């Protein structure tokens, strides 16, 4: 676990049933000011590194109101991307994950969408991702 810099920060619960969309529990306390990550379960496959291409399932939640704003599970389609092409919070939070793993990332705005925001993510908003790593290439 990294980034737990404030005593009032508490990781939310996340369900740990493999191959099923995760459910994120209630958010409480202050949002962390640095990247916070926690493995829900550890995979046993290939490990993600900075130059990896990823296939993942994810759930994205807004810290300020606990609203899930996007989930690849809803469409039944995984998301594929080079790790170098996503937000800094993923670039710092995903390496070291192994295929088959599930990781909770709580990403402050400066490592997410910053002052601009993005779609449903408001400017300067902390976000919560649960990432299931399906495949590394």
d(CA 123, CA 121): 7
Instruction: Classify residue 49: in a domain, yes or no.
Output: yes
d(CA 66, CA 89): 18
Residues of the chain with pLDDT under 70: 1-7
Instruction: Classify residue 10: in a domain, yes or no.
Output: no
Q: Which residue has the tokens 């990294």?
A: 2
How far, rounded to the nearest angstrom, does the alpha carbon of residue 32 sit from its chain's CA centroid?
14
Question: What are phi and psi for residue 111, nearest 5 degrees?
Answer: -105, 5
pLDDT confidence of residue 4: 45
d(CA 77, CA 62): 21
* pLDDT tens-digit series, residues 63-87: 999 999 999 999 999 999 999 999 9
When divided into structural domains, the chain yields a total of: 1
Task: List the domain range (segments joined by +) for residue 131.
Answer: 36-136
What CATH number did the domain enclosing 76 receive? 3.10.50.40
| Helix residue spans in 1-137 (DSSP H) | 72-75, 88-93
Instruction: Classify residue 128: in a domain, yes or no.
Output: yes
pLDDT confidence of residue 5: 45
Instruction: Classify residue 28: in a domain, yes or no.
Output: no
pLDDT confidence of residue 7: 52
The two three-digit tokens of residue 59, written as one number: 């759930």
Instruction: Classify residue 20: in a domain, yes or no.
Output: no
């Amino acid at each position: 676990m990294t980034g737990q810099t404030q005593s009032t920060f508490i990781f939310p619960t996340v369900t740990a049933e493999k191959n099923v969309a995760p459910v994120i529990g209630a958010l409480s306390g202050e949002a962390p000011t640095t990247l916070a990550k926690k493995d829900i379960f550890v995979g046993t496959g290939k490990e993600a590194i900075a130059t990896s291409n990823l296939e993942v399932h994810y759930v994205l939640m807004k810290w300020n109101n606990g609203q899930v704003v996007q989930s690849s599970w809803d469409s039944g389609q995984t998301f594929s991307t080079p790790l170098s092409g996503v937000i800094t919070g993923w670039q710092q939070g995903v390496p070291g994950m192994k295929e088959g793993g599930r990781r909770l990332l709580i990403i402050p705005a400066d490592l997410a969408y910053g002052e601009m925001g993005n779609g449903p993510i408001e400017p300067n908003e902390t976000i919560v991702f649960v990432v299931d790593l399906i495949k590394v290439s």
